[in-house]
Amino acid sequence: MIGPISIVLVDDHALVRDMLRQRLAQETDMVVLGCESNAQDAVRCCVATRPDVVLLDIDMPGLSAFEGARSIKRQCPGTRLVFLSAFFHDRYIDQALALEATGYLTKNEPPEVVVQAIRQVMTGTVYFSDEVLTRIVVSEDGARLAHAPESRTRLLTERELEMLAYIARGLSKKEIARTVGISVKTVEQHCAHLMEKLAIHDRVELARLAIREGLVEP
């Protein structure tokens, strides 16, 4: 017998998290295994509960949602990633596609769409809105967003982008190392590389760039 769709909800906004939990609880074929407010806890919860779907808000304090998603994907390959963002941000969509996320929803959508998306991804397919689907380009490397903004941040690796986002959030190298779970020396190396690639050696300028590029919320 196939059990209900198990779900982990991750959103730093308690109101949204609780509302979604209540809404999903109304569906008889769905069960919410956990509600977390940051990506770090989400990884722990997913590893412990192995949900079918994890609904991840993108902009949360602490570990980046994409880094958390990468970790969940690695440790729980059966869990489908559905991102939930306040807006359609090209940068976010591009990162979600790079992670082979099965869905990307905005909070503008009514809760019914969230329910529908969860059901759809459980059928083995993906759920993206019209606006996103029309702009997806299939290339030899997989799927990416068409007309994604070209900027200097294209020069950065995934890890360096993540470091840039943490720097923009005001985290120190020690805090970044603690958050991501790597050594301070590694963080320093990543930071040196990204600063060299971007030709920016000022934390404030890096933060400005990260905000402009949509890597973090202002």
Partner 1 sequence: MEQSALDQIQSGQREIGLKRLFNEDYNIQEQLFLKAMNSFVDQSRHRLIDRLQHEKSKELLSLWAAFFVFLVSLSFWIMLIRRLQKWGGILSQEIREHHKAEKTANTLERKYQDLFEYANDPILILDPMTYRLLDVNRKAVDLLGYERDELLGLSLNDLILGDDQNSVEQLLKTLCPSNSTVSECTYRHKDGRPFPVEISGRLIDAGDKEVYQCFARDITERRRFQEERLHSQKIEAIGQVADGIAHDFRNALTAISGYNALGQNLLPKRHPALESLKRIDQVINQANGLIRGMLTFSRRQETERQSVELRQLVENSADLFRRILPAAITLEIDVASVQNFQVSADITQLQQVLLNLMINARDAMPDGGTLRISLSPASADRGDGSDTAGWVRIEVSDTGIGMPPEVQARIFEPFFTTKPDEYGTGLGLAMVHNIVSQHGGRVEVRSAVGQGSAFTVLLPPATPDSTQDEIISSRNWKSGAGEMILLAEDHRYVREIMAATLRHVGYEVVQAEDGLALLDRYRAHRDRLRLLIADLDLPGCSGLDALRQLRARGARLPAILITGTDSRDLSDQLDMETLLLRKPFQMATLARLVYSLLHQEARVDDRTHLDRPG
Q: Are 10 and 37 in contact (CB under 8 A)?
A: yes
Q: Would you count residue 218 as binding partner 1 (CB under 8 A)?
A: yes
Listed ranges 136-144, 162-170, 178-186, 192-200: which one lies at the site for partner 1 (CB under 8 A) = 136-144
| Residue owning tokens 């090209």 | 90
Which one among 73, 91, 159, 169 touches partner 1, defined by CB under 8 A?
Answer: 91
Listed ranges 31-39, 43-51, 82-90, 184-192: which one lies at the site for partner 1 (CB under 8 A) = 82-90
Record the tokens describing residue 55, joined without a space: 């609904």
Q: Would you count residue 90 as binding partner 1 (CB under 8 A)?
A: yes
Q: Are 176 and 131 in contact (CB under 8 A)?
A: no
Site for partner 1 in 145-184 (CB under 8 A): 146-147
Listed ranges 1-9, 42-50, 103-111, 157-165: which one lies at the site for partner 1 (CB under 8 A) = 103-111
Cβ within 8 Å of residue 70, ≥6 positions away: 99
Which one among 1, 77, 125, 204 touches partner 1, defined by CB under 8 A?
Answer: 125
Minimum CB distance to partner 1 smaller for 193 or for 208? 208
Minimum CB distance to partner 1 smaller for 184 or for 200? 200
The dihedral built from the CA positions of residue 52, 68, 33 and 13, taken in this order, carries a sign that is negative
Site for partner 1 in 192-211 (CB under 8 A): 211
Q: Closest separation between CB of residue 144 and partner 1, Å?
A: 8
169 — alpha (psi -120 to 50), left (phi > 0) or beta?
A: alpha
Q: How far is CA 35 from the centre of its chain?
A: 16
Q: Are 32 and 8 in contact (CB under 8 A)?
A: yes
Other C-beta atoms lying within 10 Å of the C-beta of residue 108: 11
Residue by residue, what is the 3-state secondary structure of 172-185?
Answer: CHHHHHHHHCCCHH
List of residues contacting partner 1 (CB under 8 A):
13, 15-16, 18-20, 22-23, 26, 59, 86-91, 100, 102, 107-108, 110-112, 120, 124-128, 130-131, 133-140, 142-143, 146-147, 211-212, 214, 217-218
